[in-house]
Amino acid sequence: MMLADIGRYLPDDILTKVDRATMHCGLEAREPLLDADLAALAFTLPAAMRIRGGERKWILRRVLERRVPRALFERPKTGFSVPILRWLRGPLRPWAEDMLDPSRLSREGHLDAVAVRRLWSKTLAGRRGGDAAEIWCVLMFEAWLDGQRPR
């Protein structure tokens, strides 16, 4: 799993998001736990030093508690997600409305126009972005179809 994280999850997801977010604000970011020597050491540690009694990152927590107040590292994770819902309600709304036009969807015949419209309405009305990922998939499919059409 550590190899999968280093090979795919970090570069294709987490680090990409951090890079974009920091560049947007003109910030320079460093990921100290990705130091090559530290990462190499982590791969040599036995599982018992990484997970003990169900506590993950056991050795890292022991090192941190020497220098950092527990309240800063013993707390729930917070996500780092893309604000799709805000984009769809804001600057991308005209584009999305065009892509999700019922007559367009019916003409193409790939998706149920009524179901897509219901999902779009639910997405716009919702307080949380739960449906935004689903409608985003529909929009990406439609954008892909649009790119496949002869010009």
The tens digit of pLDDT for each residue in 12-32 reads: 888 888 888 888 888 888 888
Q: What is the pTM of this model?
A: 0.55
| Pairwise CA distance, residues 145 & 147, whole Å | 5
> In this structure, how many other beta carbons lie within 10 angstroms of the beta carbon of residue 108?
14
| Lowest mean per-residue pLDDT among 2-11, 27-36, 64-73, 142-151 | 142-151
Say what the pLDDT of residue 149 is: 61
- pLDDT 10s digits, 69-114: 999 988 888 776 778 999 999 999 999 999 999 999 999 999 999 9
